């Protein structure tokens, strides 16, 4: 794709700001994209990845930052959408200096962008960023932060699954419901534990077979291959690894009643969402069901409180019910309904609150950490 086309996309997708930051001395090359701050400062993690080139990184940061606007909006948060990408191999290039340098660039944005962990970065990296800026969340509990968001993402996904099961299967208990979990990483393994605690029957797969081994003696868990996961007769398919797993190749194979999981960008294209709807497979829009981690880190901005986090995560059940009722009422695919709900909230609330104007708006969040 040519550079001009990328710039064209930036303009058509209405991003507010994209900045390129470089600090050659520490090997930092990164992009920060602020998609929308109508609801509040843009919050989104920093991804560290060995991108092929700058255009691929730009494409990723534009797509991801837009997704964060929708996620925050549907989650009922007073936050906008943003994201950052560091163009470097997370296995090779991590250093204190690199993350502190990144933190100092975040600081220059005066709170318009708040960072957190994402693919390739973790809670330790956030500590270095935190040395240079207050505009970071997902830092360690010992620093007044909320720590790893994955268990909270998993809790939220389970709440969303409850709503889907009620709507599609007419059951208000998860007992005996079967689910195929694709990927048992940070979120997937937490999900499996929650599912087993609810007496669900679980199929699991992971490209890392060793991760599956430890489940071999667990009751109600069946390990399948990464290919077989699409063909199981489980009630729910739960993507928790990669994006674009609902695609032309996998769609004809799915026998499930529900697709509901933590992975971002599960639909390879909007048409795949239409096809799920046509096949009467209920789809839980990814950014709505996986917002638990974002909810949890957002609480850090006001002083972390676990009770509040639990209450907020529970709201994913109601968010999902609202989307599903909307979908039934309008006979419209769930992903479209979610977009509508998110866009309506951005429009309605921004009219009331007026436009976000940099650091003054971030006063909305009282920083409790020091
Ligand atoms: P992770 O990297 O810890 O886990 C992903 C797991 O998937 C790994 O165990 C990996 O081996 C496995 N995997 C990769 N390719 C696979 C394949 N083809 N088939 C089966 N397994 C495969 O990531 P995570 O933090 O658990 O996140 C999982 C998904 O949820 C990602 O899409 C992520 O973007 C999304 N998500 C995560 C959070 C969070 O709080 N961590 C929040 C929102 C969304």
Which residues are tagged catalytic? 83
**For strand 282-283 and strand 46-49, is the pairing parallel, antiparallel, or unpaired?**
unpaired
**What token pair was written down for 222?**
């069946």
φ, ψ (nearest 5 deg) of residue 321 = -60, -40
The residues lining ligand 1, judged by C-beta closer than 6 Å to any ligand atom, are 149-150, 153, 182-188, 205-208, 211, 226, 240-242, 262-264, 290, 293
Sign of the dihedral through C-alpha 239, 337, 35, 72:
negative
In the prediction, which pLDDT does 364 show?
47
pLDDT averages per 10-residue partition of the chain, 370 residues = 59 85 98 95 96 93 94 96 97 97 98 94 94 94 88 97 98 98 96 98 96 90 97 98 95 98 95 98 98 96 92 98 97 98 92 57 46
Whose alpha carbon is nearest atom 29 of ligand 1? 263
Domains of the chain: 9-70+79-136 (3.40.50.10860), 150-332 (3.40.50.720)
Residue 236 and residue 187: Cα distance in Å, rounded?
A: 16
pTM given for the model: 0.92
pLDDT of res. 242: 87
- For residue 160, the model assigns a pLDDT of 98
Distances from the Cα of 1 to the Cαs of 10, 11, 103, in angstroms? 13, 16, 30
**From the CB of residue 16, how many other CB atoms can be counted at a distance below 10 Å?**
18
Choosing from 72, 90, 186 the residue with most ligand 1 atoms within 8 A of its CB, the one to mutate for a pocket test is 186
**What pLDDT was estimated at residue 359?**
42
CA of 305 to the centre of ligand 1 (A): 26
The confidence score (pLDDT) of residue 142 equals: 86
What is the predicted pLDDT for the residue at 105? 98
The whole-number pLDDT of residue 5 equals: 57
Q: Cα angle at 181 between 180 and 187, to 5 degrees?
A: 160
Cα dihedral sign for 309, 311, 317, 321? negative
Residue 158: its H or E element:
helix 150-169
To test the ligand 1 pocket, which listed residue (121, 185, 209) has its Cβ within 8 A of the most ligand atoms?
185
Centre of ligand 1 to C-alpha 362, Å, is 31
Output the CA angle 245-246-248, nearest 5 degrees: 110
pLDDT at 352: 81
3-state secondary structure of 115: strand
Instruction: Give the tokens for residue 344.
Output: 């309506």
């Amino acid at each position: 794709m040519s550079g001009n086309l990328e710039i064209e996309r930036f303009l058509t997708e209405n991003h507010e700001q994209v900045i390129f930051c470089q600090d050659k001395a520490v090997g930092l090359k990164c992009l920060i994209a602020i998609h929308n701050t109508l609801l509040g400062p843009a919050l989104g993690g920093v991804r560290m990845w060995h991108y092929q080139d700058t255009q691929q990184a730009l494409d990723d940061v534009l797509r991801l930052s837009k997704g964060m606007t929708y996620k925050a909006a549907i989650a009922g948060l007073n936050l906008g959408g943003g994201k950052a990408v560091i163009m470097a191999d997370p296995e090779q290039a991590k250093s204190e200096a690199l993350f502190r340098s990144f933190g100092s660039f975040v600081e220059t944005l005066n709170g318009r962008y708040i960072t957190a962990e994402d693919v390739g970065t973790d809670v330790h990296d956030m500590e270095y960023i935190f040395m240079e800026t207050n505009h970071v969340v997902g830092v360690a509990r010992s620093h007044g932060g909320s720590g790893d968001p994955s268990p909270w993402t998993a809790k939220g996904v389970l709440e969303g699954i409850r709503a889907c099961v009620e709507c599609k299967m007419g059951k208000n208990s998860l007992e005996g419901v079967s689910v195929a979990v694709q990927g048992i990483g940070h979120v997937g393994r937490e999900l499996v534990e929650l599912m087993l605690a609810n007496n669900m029957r679980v199929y699991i797969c992971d490209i890392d077979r060793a991760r599956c081994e430890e489940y071999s003696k667990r009751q109600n868990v069946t390990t399948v291959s990464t290919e077989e996961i699409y063909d199981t007769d489980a009630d729910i398919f739960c993507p928790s690894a990669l994006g674009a797993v609902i695609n032309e190749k996998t769609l004809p194979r799915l026998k499930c009643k529900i697709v509901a999981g933590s992975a971002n960008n599960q639909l390879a294209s909007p048409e795949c969402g239409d096809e799920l709807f046509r096949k009467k497979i209920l789809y839980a829009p990814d950014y709505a069901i996986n917002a638990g981690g974002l909810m949890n880190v957002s609480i850090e901005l006001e002083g972390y409180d676990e009770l509040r986090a639990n209450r907020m995560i529970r709201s994913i059940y109601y968010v999902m019910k609202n989307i599903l009722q909307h979908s039934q009422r309008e006979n419209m695919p769930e992903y479209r309904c979610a977009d509508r709900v998110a866009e309506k909230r951005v429009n309605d609330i921004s009219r009331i609150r007026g436009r976000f104007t940099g650091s003054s708006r971030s006063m909305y969040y009282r920083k409790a950490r020091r």
